[in-house]
Amino acid sequence: MGVPVIIVTGASGGVGRGIALACAKVGWTVWIAARREQEGSAVVKEIDQLGGQGRFVFCDSGDQASVQNAVDEVIAQDGGLHGVVHNATSGLSPQPTVLSEISMDDLQNHVAVSLRGSYLLAKAAYQHLCKTQGSLVLLTSEAGFEGKARLPAYAAVKAGQRGLARSLAREWGNNKVRVNAVAPLASTPAMERAFELDSAMEQRVMARNPLSYLGDSVEDIGSAVRFLLSEDSRYITGHTLMVDGGSCPVT
Amino acid sequence: MEQSYSPLLIGNKNCSELKIFTDRLRADFLAMPELPSVSENSEENDWYWSEALQQWRDKNCGGKTYSKIVVAIWQQSPTAKALVDMSLEDWLQRCEAPIAWWTAALGCAQALCKDDGAVVAVVEQPAVLDAESWTAEVSVAEAVAALSKSLARSEGGRGVRFNTVTTPARISNFNSLVDPQPPLTSFPGSIEKEVIGAVKLLLDDNASGLTGRVLNADCGRSM
């Protein structure tokens, strides 16, 4: 295999940026697929500085034409695709809600970015991943395992992604395309925002973390995702890897 | 609010199998709007039904309260289909619409369940070994389990339990089961016996210490 080419959605910041930079450190070609071009282009520069080849393509994960166009752009420029990471998540993710009161517009936003985005990316990338015996990684959450009292819609779509990964791994295994999920716990702007919205959350999150720190998006989360994209994990599929410092009691 | 001692079934009205629940559980039935079909999808707004669904929930959240509630949102005739063969309209019908229906129904159950009551979500899910070409359905089932667990957490303080029963009764590829075969020859089980039995178990006061659990009523297929 030559230099791996991967695409990461929602990589203009946070965990997505961490994954992109972790892959840049080993010289991969990394496409930032995001809506925010200015922030995405800044990450592209960081990728280049770390020894990778950074690219940016506009992508709205919930829009079929946008996702297809992003994948087509990768193929047109680099000729192949070895890995796809769906990291983008709704901007409403840290917003506390009561299930009996959630608006359908908000639910649609959660579903469109996380679940429809997973479906659209998987469908658009499948033929290309077959050629490279590549890998699809979906970013889920501990919320998908254990539920969240104040974030039920977020928990639901994250659990749905985990189920999608497990089922799709069975569909794609014959072509040696692997599908896995990662449930990270990281220090990100989104996490900081969640702590602001729920003042007791920080104490709850840290009290059960045996390693006593939030993961670094590059060194802790990015390197784990890079492993699942690489040939080092070629016998791993249908799995959800908890990268959370041991926080979640359910695996 | 008026109170009742009969269980309540919340379900979509275009699935005939749900009548088995009302008959066996002697339950009242709160009918949801019909799940949309592919042909009904609108190009302008693919969640065109969302306003009506929200209105249904808001209207029914203030209704009669129950101590035992069962929620079941089932497709009329589910069939296996690989993800790459699914159109966006298929995906909407098989995944996104059911998740919206489940969210509205479980939100309604949250509002209608009396203190110290119990709610059971009954969702269709194949065992992992049989999950190929059921990607949308597995996604929905996992989402439902997470909704139920979230409600178990938020409603536990007032003694309300939320649990989930899964069944492969209508959605396994029975003619080509991957070995090893299920331990019980009764696989995939029936709604009348295995599914209703698991629901009764979780609704019963003897299950007062069980909440946030997922019980796979699949004759041992997923163990």
pLDDT, tens only, B143-190: 999 999 999 999 999 999 999 999 999 987 666 788 899 999 999 999
Name the residue among B83, B148, B150 with its Cβ closest to that of A122: B83
Q: Do B149 and A98 touch (CB under 8 A)?
A: no
Q: Which residue of A has its CA nearest to B153?
A: A149
Task: Provide the chain A residues 202-241 that lie in CB contact (below 8 A) with chain B.
Answer: 238
| Interatomic CA distance for residues B27 and A70, integer angstroms | 50
| Interatomic CA distance for residues A189 and A86, integer angstroms | 18
Tell me the percentage of chain B whose pLDDT exceeds 70.
93
ipTM: 0.95
Cα angle, residue B208 at apex, residues B203 and B212 outer, rounded to 5°: 75
Name the residue among B131, B143, B212 with its Cβ closest to that of A166: B131
What are the backbone angles phi and psi of residue B47, rounded to the nearest 5°?
-105, 45
What was the pLDDT predicted at A170?
95
What was the pLDDT predicted at B51?
94
The average confidence (pLDDT) of chain B is 92
- What DSSP string runs through A43-81? HHHHHHHTTSEEEEEE--TT-HHHHHHHHHHHHHHHS--
Task: Provide the chain A residues 86-145 that lie in CB contact (below 8 A) with chain B.
Answer: 98-105, 107-108, 111, 115-116, 119-120, 122-123, 126, 143-145
Residue where the block lists tokens 């007791």: A200
What CA–CA distances, in Å, run from A177 to A89, B53, B80? 24, 38, 20
Find which of A97, A104, A172, A174 to mutate to test the B interface (most B CBs within 10 Å of its CB).
A104
Q: Do A147 and B148 touch (CB under 8 A)?
A: yes
Name the residue among B61, B83, B146 with its Cβ closest to that of A119: B83
Tell me the percentage of chain B whose pLDDT exceeds 90.
81
The average confidence (pLDDT) of chain A is 95
Band the pLDDT of B40: cuts 50, 70, 90: low
Element (H, E) at B155: helix B135-155
Name the residue among B107, B135, B146 with its Cβ closest to that of A159: B146
Q: Any chain B CB within 8 A of the CB of A200?
A: no
pLDDT score of B74 more than 90: yes
What was the pLDDT predicted at B44?
67
pLDDT score of A111 more than 70: yes
Q: Do A166 and B95 touch (CB under 8 A)?
A: no
What was the pLDDT predicted at A185?
95
Segments of B96-222 assigned E as strands: 113-124, 161-167, 214-216
Q: Which range is least confidently modeled, A89-98, A239-248, B50-59, B65-74?
A: A89-98
Answer for the pair A11, A83: CB distance below 8 angstroms, yes or no: no
What was the pLDDT predicted at B178?
86
Amino acid at position A17, single letter = R
Q: Do A152 and B146 touch (CB under 8 A)?
A: yes
Instruction: Using CB atoms within 10 Å of the CB of residue A133, give its burial: 0 to 12 exposed, 13 to 18 middle, 19+ buried.
Output: middle
Q: Which residue of A has its CA nearest to B98?
A: A111
Instruction: Express each pLDDT in A23-75 by its tens digit.
Output: 999 999 999 999 999 999 999 999 999 999 999 999 999 999 999 999 999 99
Instruction: Express each pLDDT in B99-133 by its tens digit.
Output: 999 999 999 999 999 999 999 999 999 999 999 99
What distance lies between CA B149 and its chain's CA centroid?
13
Q: What is the pTM of this model?
A: 0.96
What was the pLDDT predicted at B177?
85
Q: Any chain A CB within 8 A of the CB of B212?
A: yes
Answer for the pair A46, A25: CB distance below 8 angstroms, yes or no: no
What CA–CA distances, in Å, run from B130 to A9, A169, B91? 30, 12, 19
What was the pLDDT predicted at B5?
64
- What DSSP string runs through B106-142? HHHHHHHEEEEEEEEEEEE---GGG-TT-HHHHHHHH
Instruction: Express each pLDDT in A153-168 by its tens digit.
Output: 999 999 999 999 999 9
Name the residue among A99, A102, A163 with its Cβ closest to that of B151: A99
Q: Which range is least confidently modeled, A109-118, A190-199, A202-211, B206-215?
A: A190-199
Instruction: Using CB atoms within 10 Å of the CB of residue A25, give its burial: 0 to 12 exposed, 13 to 18 middle, 19+ buried.
Output: middle
Find which of B81, B99, B123, B164 to mutate to test the A interface (most A CBs within 10 Å of its CB).
B99
Average pLDDT over residues A129-144: 97
What CA–CA distances, in Å, run from A143 to A151, A154, A182, B39, B159? 8, 7, 12, 34, 22
Average pLDDT over residues B8-35: 92
Q: Which residue of B has its CA nearest to A121?
A: B84
Q: Chain A residues with CB inside 8 Å of B82's CB?
A: 171
What was the pLDDT predicted at A195?
85
Average pLDDT over residues A3-22: 97
What was the pLDDT predicted at B78?
86
What was the pLDDT predicted at B173?
67
What was the pLDDT predicted at B3?
47
